[in-house]
Chain A
């Protein structure tokens, strides 16, 4: 079976912290068509929360900018999610992906955002340019809930 896209959604929202939960519930609702397991859905919600929090806390810091979220669903029960901002960008993406690394020492960040995104998604990519913005792309294979 050829892998084809069956649905697509684009959402643009403000980088306000109350939108962190909104973003993950939008993604969970988008995935619901595949009837995924609770665990698979939890992984999607967690990674989206991490990516959006990064936009709010780091990319736009003390300002409010737009977050661009694109969701795509495929006929093999997989979903890809990209979260992009036009914020400050990341100087050293390799360092940013290291566990426990954080630039926000006062904010009680754990430095585990990118490591969590990498381990919970099937595919993960991070593109960033200082002064231009950052894009995180992740894909997930959604295991079907067989419990009924």
Chain B
């Protein structure tokens, strides 16, 4: 089964953006993680944005995915931000109390469902 199908990566002007969509659970997190990390190691962008505007469900495995990319980016000297988290993502971040750790960027195009 291809677990990368819902991951889209864009790289331009030293900024990499990963668009993750649909459900993020333990089953899907591994494929997303491997897809992102391979490109982070290969391209070494200055900035990495994890866009979660289209995530419809997330549990603590998604939290592990976010915190893991945050840690990897810090190790590689890449500026990390979480971009446009959906309400489902924000709820888990709030429960975990990660708001001081993870920088969140919201652009105007955010869709409020």
Contacts and interface: CB of A to CB of B under 8 A. Distances in A.
B48 to A, nearest CB: 17
B23 A116 contact: no
What is the interface residue range for chain B against chain A? 20 to 34
A50 B27 contact: no
Contact of B64 (A17, A21, A109): A109
Interface in A2-32: 17-18, 20-21, 24
Interface residues of A, number: 25
Interface in A62-117: 99, 107-113, 115-116
A142 interface: no
A17 B59 CA distance: 14
B64 A110 contact: yes
- Max chain A C-beta neighbours (<10 A), residue from B57, B65, B68: B57
Contacts of A110: 60-61, 63-64, 67, 96
A112 B68 CA distance: 14
A116 B26 contact: no
Given A20-B27, A112-B96, A42 B60 contact: no
B60 A113 contact: yes
Interface of B: 1, 23, 25-27, 29, 33, 57-61, 63-65, 67-68, 88, 91-92, 95-96
